[in-house]
Amino acid sequence: MSGELDLTDIVVTEDENCLIEPEAEAGDTTPDAGELGEHIKIRLTLKSSLWGSPKLIYEGLLKDIQPHYDVDEMLPQHDYDFIIEGWWWPQSATDSQAMTDVVKLSMKFQLQQLPD
């Protein structure tokens, strides 16, 4: 049976954890808000042996990910790999603001099955 897959309720939650001296020296003035999502880039891809290269769903700063993605394709019953990579930590004058911070990414996978 085939289906359409959506990624829904995508939420990025930032946690300051604690604001230590190097963070303050880098300009962090928000003890209740973390900055790690402003510094990590992620890549979200869907991989399958049904097609050649992985399909890119999102690539960019974690803080800018959208709350919903349609995979935009009817997927036959098969094995798929969703891959989330945290792949870039750019050096900048402000990257130390995120030194002890924690960021959480959550999402739901919603499958609507379609009759063949």
Q: Where are the beta strands (DSSP E) in the chain?
A: 2-15, 41-47, 55-61, 69-75, 81-88, 102-114
Rg of the chain over Cα atoms, rounded to whole angstroms, equals 18
**Positions in the binding site for Ca ion (CB under 5 A):** 16, 23, 28, 30, 33, 35, 97, 101
Question: Please, what is the minimum distance in Å from the beta carbon of residue 61 to Ca ion?
Answer: 16
* Smaller CB separation from Ca ion, 47 or 63: 63
Name the residue number minimizing CB distance to Ca ion. 30
* Smaller CB separation from Ca ion, 33 or 83: 33
* Smaller CB separation from Ca ion, 16 or 42: 16
Question: Please, what is the minimum distance in Å from the beta carbon of residue 44 to Ca ion?
Answer: 24
In this structure, are residues 26 and 96 in contact, taking their beta carbons and an 8 Å threshold? yes
